[in-house]
Chains A and B, each alone.
Chain A
Amino acid sequence: MRINRLWAAILLGIPLIYLIVFFVTPLGMVVVDSFSNEAGELTLANYATVLGEAYYWRVLGYTFWIALVTCVATLILGYPLAYYMSLIERRRTMRRLCFILILMPLFTSNIVRSFGWIVLLGREGLVNETLLLLGIVDRPLRLLSTEVAIIIGMIYVMLPFMVLAIASVLQNMNGSLREASRDLGATAFATFLKVTLPLSAPGIVAGTLIVFTLSISSYVTPRIMSGGRSVVSSMLIYDQFMLVFNPFLGSAIAVVLLVASFALIIAYTLLMERRPARGTST
């Protein structure tokens, strides 16, 4: 079936208009603001501040560090889950149950989920009470309002995205490839390493990209879990807009964050493309 040009124009036009109105325009306004000052003049002063002071670079580095750790941790935790759901569990109902369980955290708001962690990790929370009861510690550990708390909270929020991205690739993998590998004498581990893992690379790339970008822009989880003791880029942006009423500096920080993220993501995808894992010829 072929569609005529008018239909093609309409079908492409609707999302295009949506993107222009709700994405390009606001982004453009942010970019314009970032080059402006309160008097409405064009200036580079905002960028001089953001790029010239070591502090902003430190926060940017810290933001990327949190996102990187979250990414690696969700990959390590998420891959076996995705593997189990897609390749080991054969019963359909169990698979569905797994998907629902993985998706469940996404049904509630970020704020509620973060507060759940506070109940668990607090000074009189479940984890500390258990450790005290077992005599492992003699005074409550400080778990909340630390970098560890931020990362625990982030992993929890981001895990479903990683699992879903990898599972969708594993599910559609041609099973006879793995069988052939075993038939030819490879151990289960060698098969995983040489067949399954390389074939699932697109899922890993997609998952890490989603988790990384979402983590960089994440605001609620770091804010609640750090107890206001750490600063990531999104908080700086928020503070400039909402507390200091300086949208110009806030916009400049946002643009720098955006450009830096883009640069990292492009470098990452280029790296993954240039060095295709062995055995991935499609």
Chain B
Amino acid sequence: MNRCLSYLLGGTVLAALGIAPVSAQESLVVAAFGGKHGQTLQKCVIDTFTAKTGIKVTVDQGVSSVTVAKLKQQKGNQSLDVIWLDGEVSQAAESEGVFQDIDPAKVPNIANIIPEAVHKNKDGKITGLDDYYYSVGIVYNEDEVKEAPTSWFDLWKPEYEGLSTWPSMSDGSGPPMLVYVSELLGGGIDNLKPGVEKMKELEVAAFYDSGGNASNILSRKEAIIGVLDSGAVWSLADANPFKVGFVIPKEGGLASGTRLHLIKPSEAAYAFINHALTADAQKCFVENYFYGPSVKDISLSEKAKARLPWGPNGSIKDLRFSDAIAINEHRQEIVDAWNRDVLGRQ
């Protein structure tokens, strides 16, 4: 709180001295995430932006799909200036034509981010910029799992029979994981059979419906190993119900990112996006929420390094992103295959 206040004070002083690049009367409306994720964005990105520029930022908290619904409704008269979206939702919403092109000349920090973070449309215009990444990997209880798993298929080992957990179709990672397992076994989104056959053989303690649900199952030791996204894993690790281990399997983690989009171009909106891509803002965020940053060469603490979605020595190339558009198109087949063939085995 005190730090917030001093940032604010500092910002006001800077603004008064005329150092702030943009006029202080401006304000922005930004759509961001909820929960600890949102709190960390507020602390590391939004508050520091206001402190630096004096621009007031109103946050509209919400789930990505709802944010997109709002954009569609308000087409032509948008209330939001800048939005954050989940990578999958962003990919699917690209065709709606609600994102404005981002002029790279006005976001100089684009030069400092990895090329994978820059998303262009068919005409080669930039429409989205990733700020952070996370990955689904294998979480395990180090007290009970002696040998760290290395492959997704380690979950099928007999010693974990009835002691694993896996996302159901209600969890965001459920459908892409089923597609991913199919792909690893020679199938794909048009041929889920290999994945379905493999999943039938997995004896789980329970399938979970959300990250919180999975944390619960693991905390109660119903499961000692499972598939879970890194954000939920590190929240669990900090609650410390047991010694939490996390690995990105050798086949590659199933990753996703969060993306910034410009909705109403203005000097202030550009300044905000540019600020979100500074090393300072990203370092603060990653030290507190343990996602992987898109800004290159940030020096991180050992703790944050160990928790990066690509591991301490990896890079974004070790992650594998799913095709959200294809998954949305095949949602019916995926959910039906799950209910009918994976769960319907008995």
The interface of chain A, by Cβ under 8 A from chain B, is: 55, 58-59, 118-119, 122-124, 142, 144-145, 223, 227-231, 235-236, 239, 242-246
User: B14: CB under 8 A from chain A?
Assistant: no
Task: Assess the A229–B222 pair: CB atoms within 8 A.
Answer: no
Stretch at the interface among B23-31, B45-53, B84-92, B203-211: B203-211
User: B313: CB under 8 A from chain A?
Assistant: no
Contacts of B207 in A (CB 8 A): 227-229
8 contacts between A and B (CB under 8 A): A122-B222, A123-B222, A145-B206, A227-B206, A228-B207, A229-B207, A239-B170, A245-B331
Stretch at the interface among B3-11, B111-119, B269-277, B335-343: B335-343
User: B35: CB under 8 A from chain A?
Assistant: no
Contacts of B227 in A (CB 8 A): none
User: B344: CB under 8 A from chain A?
Assistant: yes
Contacts of A242 in B (CB 8 A): 170
Determine the residue in chain B with the shortest Cβ distance to A230.
B343
Task: Assess the A244–B206 pair: CB atoms within 8 A.
Answer: no
Task: Assess the A229–B204 pair: CB atoms within 8 A.
Answer: yes
Contacts of B168 in A (CB 8 A): 228
CB contact between A142 and one of B162, B170, B208, B220 (< 8 Å): that residue: B162
User: B240: CB under 8 A from chain A?
Assistant: no
User: B71: CB under 8 A from chain A?
Assistant: no
CB contact between A228 and one of B209, B221, B332, B346 (< 8 Å): that residue: B209
The interface of chain B, by Cβ under 8 A from chain A, is: 162-163, 168-170, 204-209, 217, 220-222, 331-332, 335-336, 339-340, 343-344, 346
Contacts of B222 in A (CB 8 A): 118, 122-123, 144-145
| Distance in angstroms between the alpha carbons of A119 and B153 in the assembled complex | 30
15 more A-B residue pairs beyond the given contacts A123-B163, A242-B170, with a C-beta to C-beta distance below 8 A = A119-B220, A122-B221, A124-B221, A142-B162, A144-B205, A227-B207, A228-B209, A229-B204, A229-B206, A229-B207, A231-B339, A231-B344, A239-B335, A244-B331, A244-B335
| Distance in angstroms between the alpha carbons of A231 and B96 in the assembled complex | 35
| Distance in angstroms between the alpha carbons of A123 and B221 in the assembled complex | 7
Task: Assess the B205–A227 pair: CB atoms within 8 A.
Answer: yes
CB contact between B204 and one of A55, A227, A236, A244 (< 8 Å): that residue: A227
Determine the residue in chain A with the shortest Cβ distance to B170.
A243
B228 CB to closest chain A CB (Å) equals 14
| Distance in angstroms between the alpha carbons of A228 and B168 in the assembled complex | 7
Contacts of A230 in B (CB 8 A): 343, 346
Determine the residue in chain B with the shortest Cβ distance to A118.
B220
| Distance in angstroms between the alpha carbons of A244 and B327 in the assembled complex | 11
| Distance in angstroms between the alpha carbons of A227 and B343 in the assembled complex | 11
CB contact between B344 and one of A55, A122, A245 (< 8 Å): that residue: A55
Task: Assess the B343–A243 pair: CB atoms within 8 A.
Answer: no
Task: Assess the B162–A229 pair: CB atoms within 8 A.
Answer: no
| Distance in angstroms between the alpha carbons of A144 and B204 in the assembled complex | 11
